[in-house]
Amino acid sequence: MLEKIGLLFQTNYVIPLVLFASWAVSIRIFPVIIYIVQKKNLMDEPGERSSHSLKTPTFGGIGMFLAFCLTLMLFGLFIDFPYGDLRKLISLVACSTVLLFLGMKDDLVVLAPKKKFGGQILAAAIVIVLTDLRITGFGGMLGFGEMPYAVSVLFTVFVFITIINAFNLTDGIDGLAGSLATLSSLVFGVFFLVNNQLLLAVTSFALVGAIIGFLGYNFSEKDKLFMGDSGSLFLGYLLAWQGVSFVAVNNTLSSMDSIEHAPNMLLAILSYPLLDTLRVFSIRIFNKRSPFSADRNHIHHRFIDKGFTHKQATAAIILSNLLLIGLVWAVNDWDPTLQLLIGFLAGVALYMYPFVLPVPRPATSGPIMVPESQPENYFVRKSQEIYRKRQSVFTHAKQAFVKEPGEKRDRSESWKKAGKSYREKHLEGQPDLK
């Protein structure tokens, strides 16, 4: 019986089975996580930069991690991986666990940046040294060739840290981080599968299945779940691992089978988090602020401010990413430096177009005076503020209708009490908003 199962796992059914198993495990785990998080009141509180107005369960990264690891363990029992591949798998799971716990601690209590970077560097260095996973050169891009071993190790660590933190910054609206990770892992997985890298392909598609299961809850209105830093750091690490493996495997292929300039293709696949991070870091440094200071100035926030829903903004960014990957692939045989320049300019044009869109204005019976000190997303912020205050009115009104046993209460008096309570809480000492 085990031999028949093993034979099935060696056929072309392996990838669909991996996808299905990872997805099936994940959708069973997430309801349990939501229940525990709600029970322990470990909810994500809406803040000034939040795109949500209600407390929401987080720690979705734990569910993705468990689904990913359980799937790899299951298929590792039946697929006869070489010893070297098993060592890669064990080191990957161990280092991913480090990133998961870093993110969990950051979700619970704010983790110091030094500790966060220290954990990321440690996890990257371990997998690089144990498995000799390195970027050895740039393939002639910008005139650079092969790198010495020490330089290669340090540069690969830098690549890991950059991708992890860039991806972490994309987790700002519903579905974006998960959709970007799904797209990237699908591209990597297809490349690994075509080039007979079974372990790498199984890893990529196991991650895709876990993320698809998560996205159903992340987009849900009834059972919404956030991935949290536990998810974004974990996914960022796996994307970095896949990206470096993508370049390393490509270097071992013949000229007929390889991608001409793999580093440029890697930049195209991960273009959105990298370009968005480059943009916000440049703006913060120009404004004499720390590049790691938090704000609401990301490209996906601009989509929301221009009237896009979370799903629409995510779809627009994913489509732009796909177009950029296709463009870089189309000019694959061009000079690597020219290809890099074309990809960069195309990325700027594709991702920055919401900045030229008009700001949506609500329908009004007369002109609205926008304070000069307010940003251009004034109307979006104001509508969100009105929604929160309206919800507060309903809450106070509901409380006003609660009566003691034997008490008769007039409905009009109840509404008066609700309005008075609301004014005392929100409007006392505040100027009228015109």
Q: What is the pLDDT of residue 392?
A: 57
Which pTM does this prediction carry? 0.78
Is the pLDDT higher at 86 or at 311?
311
Q: What is the pLDDT of residue 373?
A: 46
Q: What is the pLDDT of residue 405?
A: 47
pLDDT in tens, 154-209: 999 999 999 999 999 898 888 899 999 999 999 999 999 888 888 899 999 999 99
Backbone CA torsion sign across 114, 120, 123, 125:
negative
Mean pLDDT of 37-59: 72
Is the pLDDT higher at 404 or at 47?
47
Q: What is the pLDDT of residue 161?
A: 95
The secondary structure of 189-254 as a DSSP string is: HHHHHHTT-HHHHHHHHHHHHHHHHHHHHHS-SSS----HHHHHHHHHHHHHHHHHHHHHHHHHS-
pLDDT band at 272 (very low <50, low <70, confident <90, very high): very high
Q: Residue 321 pLDDT > 90, yes or no? A: yes
pLDDT band at 86 (very low <50, low <70, confident <90, very high): confident
Q: What is the pLDDT of residue 109?
A: 83
SS3 122: helix
Range with the poorest average pLDDT among 157-166, 256-265, 400-409, 411-420: 400-409
In the DSSP assignment, the letter for residue 146 is B
In the DSSP assignment, the letter for residue 297 is -
Q: What is the pLDDT of residue 420?
A: 60
Mean pLDDT of 4-9: 48
Mean of the per-residue pLDDT values of the chain: 80
Range with the poorest average pLDDT among 94-98, 220-224, 397-401: 397-401
Mean pLDDT of 218-246: 91
Q: How far is CA 35 from CA 25, 29, 217, 226, in A?
A: 16, 10, 13, 13
Percent of the chain residues past pLDDT 70, beyond the cut: 76
Q: Residue 23 pLDDT > 80, yes or no? A: yes
Mean pLDDT of 309-316: 91
Percent of the chain residues past pLDDT 90, beyond the cut: 39
pLDDT in tens, 138-150: 766 666 667 888 8
Q: What is the pLDDT of residue 111?
A: 82
Q: What is the pLDDT of residue 221?
A: 81
Backbone CA torsion sign across 287, 291, 296, 298:
positive
Could you give phi then psi for residue 362, rounded to 5 degrees? -70, 150
Contacts of 276 (CB under 8 A, 6+ apart): 166, 169, 170, 298, 299, 300, 351
pLDDT band at 362 (very low <50, low <70, confident <90, very high): low
Is the pLDDT higher at 409 or at 222?
222
Q: What is the pLDDT of residue 191?
A: 93
Q: Residue 81 pLDDT > 80, yes or no? A: no
12: its two tokens: 């072309």
Torsion on CA atoms 159, 266, 19, 253, rounded to nearest 10: -100
Q: Residue 61 pLDDT > 80, yes or no? A: yes
Q: What is the pLDDT of residue 3?
A: 53
Mean pLDDT of 39-61: 72
The secondary structure of 303-318 as a DSSP string is: HHHTT--HHHHHHHHH
Cα separation, 18 vs 9, whole angstroms: 9
Range with the poorest average pLDDT among 2-6, 226-230, 285-289: 2-6
Q: What is the pLDDT of residue 387?
A: 55
Mean pLDDT of 353-375: 58
Q: What is the pLDDT of residue 205?
A: 95
Q: Residue 390 pLDDT > 90, yes or no? A: no
Helix (H), strand (E) at residue 44? strand 43-44
pLDDT band at 371 (very low <50, low <70, confident <90, very high): very low
H and E: helices and strands count for the chain: 16, 2
Range with the poorest average pLDDT among 58-62, 218-222, 243-247, 363-367: 363-367
